[in-house]
Structure formats: structure tokens, C-alpha cells
Chains A and B, each alone.
Chain A
Amino acid sequence: DTGVSQDPRHKITKRGQNVTFRCDPISEHNRLYWYRQTLGQGPEFLTYFQNEAQLEKSRLLSDRFSAERPKGSFSTLEIQRTEQGDSAMYLCASSQTQMYYGYTFGSGTRLTVV
């Protein structure tokens, strides 16, 4: 297991298009998190899963955003009808149940909406 993997690394899309990102967590981690990071800022929480259940969503996650984690393994984050304000780095992280040991982050997917 080489850590948390995210695909793609970079995505350029036209405004109004839909995009989907994938995250593969560390296999023994049952918790998975999505964060958004804009340039020069700290990451902001979007949502988190414990196994396949989505247990918490931020107000940042508008109706255009949806996340899934089927079977409690990989996760996808979809953004519909993208807007220029969606341009950011989307970070995925995973952790064991004892999450206070900290997360393991992936390298992120950088989205540019033109």
C-alpha cells in the first residue's frame, strides 16, 4: 500500500461541465475525508465518510457537489455545472478510527475551470 492516491492530478475544464475525481485511501483506513484548498490558504473541510456512510457535510458542499464511497473503499467527488470559483486543489485524506493520530493526505487534484 503506497498511501492515498488521487486521480487525476490535474483537470482543466470549461465552465458548466461536470467533473469527477477519485480517491483511493489506505486500505486499512475506514475513514475518508475531502478537503478543498485554494491558493495560499489552508484546506477547508468538505465531507467525510466512515466506511460507506457519509457522516458529515460542510456548508461549503453546495448542491452541485456530491460524494460517494461505495462499498467503503474508494471515493468519488463530482462537481456538476462547474464555476470558476470551483478552481482549487481538492485533497483527499484517510485515517483509522482513532483519527486523532492525524490523517494521511493524498497529493490532491488541481481543478482549473476556464
Chain B
Amino acid sequence: AQTVTQSQPEMSVQEAETVTLSCTYDTSENNYYLFWYKQPPSRQMILVIRQEAYKQQNATENRFSVNFQKAAKSFSLKISDSQLGDTAMYFCAFMKGAGNMLTFGGGTRLMVKP
């Protein structure tokens, strides 16, 4: 079974600064996908960024980028130029390559301060 661990229950950052959220996972699979989802207060969960394990290049989506370290089983999310709208719960998630189920971490609550 796969496990996903987010070791930072809460984090805060000043507006316009950069913050990194940590995620580690445990799996014996070689082919898999990793995701970061954002869940704003009382709003639906939305996909922020995804990474295929077979790709060495780190994924980037505008202000969001990941640092994927396959050997270390680490998948951190970097948010640059933080904005007030980035305030949310952030969940790291894992999916096997031939699977269909997402396994989520416990989440990190991010507060962006003005």
C-alpha cells in the first residue's frame, strides 16, 4: 500500500514571498503520478500541478513548481510570489500508473499574510 506524508500541518508566508510545502511518499511502484491539490476554505478541491514519475524534469505551472526527487521519494511544492488567494489547504496525492485511486496526505494549511 502507498502512503503519503505531509510533515507540515500549518505554514504561513508573507504576500509576495516564496514558500515550499513538503511531501514524502512510500511506494514499491516504479510507474506512478503525483499531484498537488488546493482546497480553499469552504470551496472545492482543485488540481494545482501534476508530475509523472518517469519524467525527470520538474513540472511548472505559472507560480507553482515542484521539486521531484524520485530516489528520495520526495515531492515538494514551491509557490513563488505568494498571493492572498493562495491561502488554502494543500494536499499531496499519489496514484499508481495503472491505478485509479488517489492516496492523499494529511494536508498542509497555508496562510498568506498581507
Contacts and interface: CB of A to CB of B under 8 A. Distances in A.
Nearest to A108: B44
B11 interface: no
A56 B101 contact: yes
A102 interface: yes
Contacts of A43: 45, 91, 102, 104
A31 B99 CA distance: 12
Interface string B84-114: 0000000101010100111111110000000
Contacts, number: 55
Which secondary structure dominates where chain A touches chain B? Answer: mixed
Interface in A81-114: 91, 99-108
A102 B47 contact: yes
A105 B107 contact: no
A105 B44 CA distance: 6
Max count, chain B CB within 10 A of own CB: residue among A4, A45, A102, A104: A102
A41 B100 contact: no
B35 A41 contact: no
Max count, chain A CB within 10 A of own CB: residue among B4, B45, B93, B97: B45
A45 B101 CA distance: 7
A29 B53 CA distance: 24
B52 interface: yes
A105 B45 contact: yes
Contact of B100 (A4, A40, A99, A107): A99
B16 interface: no
B64 interface: no
Given A42-B104, A42-B107, 8 more contacts: A40-B106, A42-B105, A42-B106, A48-B101, A100-B33, A100-B95, A104-B47, A105-B37
